[in-house]
A and B are shown apart, each in its own frame.
Chain A
């Protein structure tokens, strides 16, 4: 996954070793990302075949509508995790944007102005996070836990226990509308555009490579000419911007602005990102895996709800899935390395590509 950036510079001249240790089909199909995608497909097929009324356009519509806020927040958070930082304040930024929209609208501001102010409120959260993490170089875990509480508190302070609900009907139906005759929500077109933009940004631009470089070793990256402060600052701004947009979407999806809206969303976001194969230590992860990870969580939740399980069981299942997806590959790597070590000691000489692979570490 991450070797690509390095091999690109080594293509000139004749090489005496293989570019990759494994053939192309193994590198693309036998990855964490591919396994998550396969899980999505397998679970969908089994659920559609065995649960009555599951395989309907309505299921697809609800599933996609439910994962939309999580997916949109997960895209910038993926980049932030790849850069070696974390953002726990996304849900509070969504809630803050939602509350600002509701509050201004109730005060008589036209809805377009309120939406703009909401998006800017999200951006403000990103600005504060970016300044504290990138410029002052404070740890993002502590900073974003702080801004999580700070902006949630401000949101509840603005609206108290009020709930603003009289939003324009046209916007509410637009946020819930499907492509006529299908179960495909219109909002998914915006989501698809966002996915493509973030995938291109992370995987096919110099900025994306500097994000990986920052996550793999910030000092090395800085000495190699990566402007790490600017990279991190940009990422937190992006996270705030997307959270602001999600806040606007959320307002019309549920037709409600309340101080506690979207509380706890950050956990779903982080779970989706980590399940999608992004390393919490930075430097590793792909957008496609995150999209599949978020969809898998949404799908498992949907299936379990169909089987009449309540949220406690659903949380156990999602939590278990997350722990398994992180722990099992680590455990297997440890076991196979021990086995390989023992085998090497006894007799067989190493294959050439395997030894190359090890030197690379």
Chain B
């Protein structure tokens, strides 16, 4: 209210603010200039990779980034991790555009949307940037390769095996999923159904319910499912959020000790329930493997060793040799079963 009339002072203040900002940009501009153009001793073009997770400050994507950074360093390349704070469809677009403009020759990306990034990725690839997606794919025409964490079927099988270890070959179980529409959820759940139908005829899946990767919703749906289905022997959760929420409900209810719970889980978020005995074992993979394989795949694409077609093979450092599957897909690793013995080796 007081500031409206004194223009002569307002401009002076704004001028100082603008000057200060210019100085900051000038200083940091000098340091930023070096990034895009580091040379290396690799015979061909130097590797320069941008890592774009769905969102920053997420333990899962941080762990994948650790793998990508290590591999890029092993290849004497330049590595930068950039990205948005939220998983909105368009939030990654400016970052991809910038990486392409900087002339980076590789992008490792987990896409928030299968098609919203299409135009940005196409422009980048036309300029010679190799695009490798991991964890969440885009439409195949927008990328060179997709690095899948593990074969879907092996993850489903690992979850079923852990459950059978606990409840035996007889019993009724339920499945807690993230959402009925997500591609990877459907693949994992149908994998579980197939494995049980093929190899464990004594097990009956009596219920499937979805918690939308939401803590409270998963908690409430678990409570409802257990109360309306008497005699349930176990729950398999294909949602990492759901596993922790279901454990939180079970550990504090009368079902504690009577219902077996397993599924996929994040080690740090699930550790407490291993320690209190609600969960005996759970399954996941090491996200860092996806980052490592992605970085080596970009090197192989740049060198022309592979083009992304089925049957191409490349070596990813210590991880060994990988073969591209139908649809330009590479499987980064195998499921890891976590229990009290090995949980302390992982931090994500």
A residues lining the B interface (CB < 8 Å): 2, 22, 26-27, 30-32, 34-36, 38-39, 42-43, 46-47, 50-54, 56, 58-59, 62, 66, 160-163, 165, 172, 176, 250, 253-256, 258, 260-264, 279, 281, 284, 301-303, 305-312, 315, 321, 324-325, 328-334, 336-337, 357, 360-361
* Measured CA separation A109–B342 after assembly (Å): 55
Chain B residue numbers with a CB within 8 Å of A58 are: 97, 101
Main secondary structure of the interface of A (DSSP, over half): helix
The reply to whether A308 and B80 contact each other, CB–CB distance below 8 Å, is yes
Which of B14-22, B257-265, B295-303, B328-336 contacts its partner?
Answer: B14-22
* Measured CA separation A264–B114 after assembly (Å): 21
* Measured CA separation A302–B97 after assembly (Å): 10
Chain B residue numbers with a CB within 8 Å of A172 are: 119
By beta carbon, the residue of chain A nearest B98 is A305
The reply to whether B25 and A47 contact each other, CB–CB distance below 8 Å, is yes
The minimal Cβ–Cβ distance linking B115 to chain A, given in whole angstroms, is 4
Q: Does B228 contact A (CB under 8 A)?
A: no
The reply to whether A50 and B22 contact each other, CB–CB distance below 8 Å, is no
Partner of B88, one of A32, A56, A260: A260
The reply to whether A311 and B101 contact each other, CB–CB distance below 8 Å, is no
The reply to whether B89 and A329 contact each other, CB–CB distance below 8 Å, is no
The minimal Cβ–Cβ distance linking A22 to chain B, given in whole angstroms, is 7
By beta carbon, the residue of chain B nearest A34 is B11
By beta carbon, the residue of chain A nearest B115 is A165
The reply to whether A51 and B88 contact each other, CB–CB distance below 8 Å, is no
The minimal Cβ–Cβ distance linking A302 to chain B, given in whole angstroms, is 7
The minimal Cβ–Cβ distance linking B29 to chain A, given in whole angstroms, is 4
Chain A residue numbers with a CB within 8 Å of B37 are: 52
| Size bin of chain B's contact surface | 35 or more
Partner of A43, one of B6, B12, B14, B21: B21
The minimal Cβ–Cβ distance linking A307 to chain B, given in whole angstroms, is 3
B residues lining the A interface (CB < 8 Å): 1-18, 21-22, 25-26, 28-33, 35-37, 56-57, 80-91, 93-95, 97-98, 101-103, 113-116, 118-119, 139, 179, 181-182, 212
Partner of B11, one of A35, A54, A264, A309: A35
The reply to whether B86 and A332 contact each other, CB–CB distance below 8 Å, is no
The reply to whether A328 and B16 contact each other, CB–CB distance below 8 Å, is yes
The reply to whether A254 and B8 contact each other, CB–CB distance below 8 Å, is no
Q: Given A254-B90, A255-B115, are A303 and B25 neighbors across the interface (CB < 8 Å)?
A: yes
The reply to whether A261 and B83 contact each other, CB–CB distance below 8 Å, is no
* Measured CA separation A160–B212 after assembly (Å): 10
* Measured CA separation A261–B285 after assembly (Å): 31
Chain B residue numbers with a CB within 8 Å of A330 are: 2-3
The reply to whether B101 and A307 contact each other, CB–CB distance below 8 Å, is no
* Measured CA separation A22–B11 after assembly (Å): 13
6 extra interchain contacts, Cβ-Cβ under 8 A, other than A51-B32, A333-B6?
A47-B29, A50-B30, A58-B101, A262-B90, A302-B94, A306-B98
The reply to whether B115 and A163 contact each other, CB–CB distance below 8 Å, is yes
Chain A residue numbers with a CB within 8 Å of B7 are: 22, 26-27, 30-31
12 of the cross-chain contacts (CB-CB < 8 Å) are A22-B7, A46-B25, A50-B26, A52-B36, A62-B94, A161-B179, A254-B90, A260-B89, A261-B88, A301-B94, A307-B35, A324-B21
Q: Given A163-B113, A261-B88, A284-B4, are A332 and B102 neighbors across the interface (CB < 8 Å)?
A: no
The reply to whether B9 and A305 contact each other, CB–CB distance below 8 Å, is no
Partner of B18, one of A42, A47, A66, A258: A42
* Measured CA separation A190–B98 after assembly (Å): 25
The reply to whether A311 and B6 contact each other, CB–CB distance below 8 Å, is no
By beta carbon, the residue of chain B nearest A69 is B90
The reply to whether A329 and B82 contact each other, CB–CB distance below 8 Å, is no
Chain B residue numbers with a CB within 8 Å of A35 are: 11, 14-15, 17-18
The reply to whether A264 and B88 contact each other, CB–CB distance below 8 Å, is yes
